[in-house]
């Protein structure tokens, strides 16, 4: 389930100092593996992050490795006001 509304709520409450964001998948109640997992943010979350925190880092799990990248790397050809 996408939690973009949490990002939107933080923004509407005046939060502007996002440094790093991580998306986490909680296990379903019937999953044998109970660990939380770092996942890539969905498209809606990526748009919100890039619109309101252009310099924000995002933590991802790529091929079993945890990496930290700029949001711009996830949306390399994003629209802008000038485009």
The whole-model pTM stands at 0.79
Instruction: Give tens-digit pLDDT for 19-69.
Output: 999 998 888 889 888 888 999 998 888 998 998 898 999 999 999 999 999
DSSP E strand boundaries for 1-83:
20-25, 37-39, 57-62, 65-70
Neighbours of 59 (CB within 10 A): 16
């Amino acid at each position: 389930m996408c939690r973009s509304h949490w990002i939107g709520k933080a923004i509407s409450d005046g939060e502007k100092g996002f440094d790093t964001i991580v998306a986490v998948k909680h296990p379903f109640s019937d999953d044998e593996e109970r660990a939380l997992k770092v996942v890539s943010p969905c498209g809606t979350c990526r748009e919100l992050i890039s619109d309101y925190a252009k310099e924000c880092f995002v933590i991802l799990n790529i091929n079993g490795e945890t990496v930290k990248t700029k949001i711009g790397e996830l949306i390399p050809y994003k629209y802008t006001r000038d485009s």
